[in-house]
Chains A and B, each alone.
Chain A
């Protein structure tokens, strides 16, 4: 298996632009998680899905952030409009609902100028 796939790996954009991050979970996994990591705040859970249904989005910082999971093999995290303070590494992870161990992707490094 290729593991969790994220794209793009790096994104540089200007303040006010829309940013879309993509994630393909490991085949057969039915939980998907979006995290954000910064030096100041560490690794924070933004939202997670079970069987494509959002379960907990309490970590989503503002209405500018939204996440979707239209099917079991794809999810997006969108920031609109982006701000410099959104600059961070965004990780996607997936797991089996029963086993619970999460497997992380390589991350997307976002820089908002």
Chain B
């Protein structure tokens, strides 16, 4: 799976959009970009994923550049409860009984702090 690079920390004012960048310049054609977050003392939580098109759900939006070498997770109106470590993960597209496609490798992520 391709390696990802994220800033170690970011701050955001409550109510503003939080834009979390991720670099994955070695991503290959069948690899997906996944985002998870981990609020202190809880298990990681799935947020969103995409292959090459931008994606949006009730939690966030994912913007993937045309060359797929980087992406941005957008929390449109950050709240204090969004303070967490955000992980960007590139995952192989394979699956099935023996494929490693479901395997996730977590890096160090970005610590997002949302403040009043």
Q: What residues on B are CB-neighbors of A42 within 8 Å?
A: 106-108
Expressed in whole angstroms, the Cα–Cα distance for A104 and B106 within the complex equals 13
Are A101 and B100 neighbours in the complex by a CB distance under 8 Å? no
Interface Cβ pair total, 8 Å cutoff: 61
Docked Cα-Cα span, A45 to B44, in Å, equals 13
Task: Say if the beta carbon of A34 comes within 8 Å of chain B.
Answer: no
B68 at the interface (CB under 8 A from A): no
The reply to whether B44 and A91 contact each other, CB–CB distance below 8 Å, is: yes
Interface residues on B, range: 20 to 34
By the criterion CB–CB under 8 Å, are A104 and B45 in contact?
Answer: yes
Q: Assess whether B21 is interfacial by the CB under 8 Å rule.
A: no
Contact A97 B102 (CB under 8 A): yes
Which of B42, B101, B103 has the most CB atoms of chain A within a 10 A radius of its CB?
B103
Among residues of A, the one whose C-beta sits closest to the C-beta of B44 is: A104
Judge whether B91 and A100 touch: CB under 8 Å. yes
- Chain A positions 78-111 with a Cβ under 8 Å from a chain B Cβ: 91, 93, 95, 97-98, 100-107
Does the CB pair A97–B95 fall under 8 Å? yes
Query: How far apart sit A97 and B104, CA to CA, in the bound complex (Å)?
Result: 13
Chain A hits for B43, CB < 8 A = 4, 91, 93, 104-107
The interface residues of chain B lying within 8 Å CB-to-CB of A55 are 97-98, 100
List the B residue with the shortest CB-CB distance to A3: B43
**Are the CB atoms of B46 and A102 closer together than 8 Å?**
yes
**Bound CA–CA A47/B42 (angstroms):** 20
Query: A44–B49 Cα gap in the complex (Å)?
Result: 20
B91 nearest in chain A by CB position: A100
Assuming the contacts A101-B34, A106-B42, asked whether A53 and B97 have C-beta atoms less than 8 A apart, the reply is yes
A50 touches B97 (CB 8 A): yes
Given contacts A51-B97, A53-B97, A107-B43, A102 and B106 within 8 Å (CB-CB): no
CB pairs A–B below 8 angstroms (6 shown): A35-B106, A42-B106, A55-B98, A56-B100, A95-B102, A101-B34
Interface residues of B (CB under 8 A from A): 32, 34, 36, 38, 42-46, 49, 91, 95-98, 100-108
Q: Which residues of A contact B (CB under 8 A)?
A: 4, 31, 33, 35, 42-45, 48, 50-51, 53, 55-56, 91, 93, 95, 97-98, 100-107
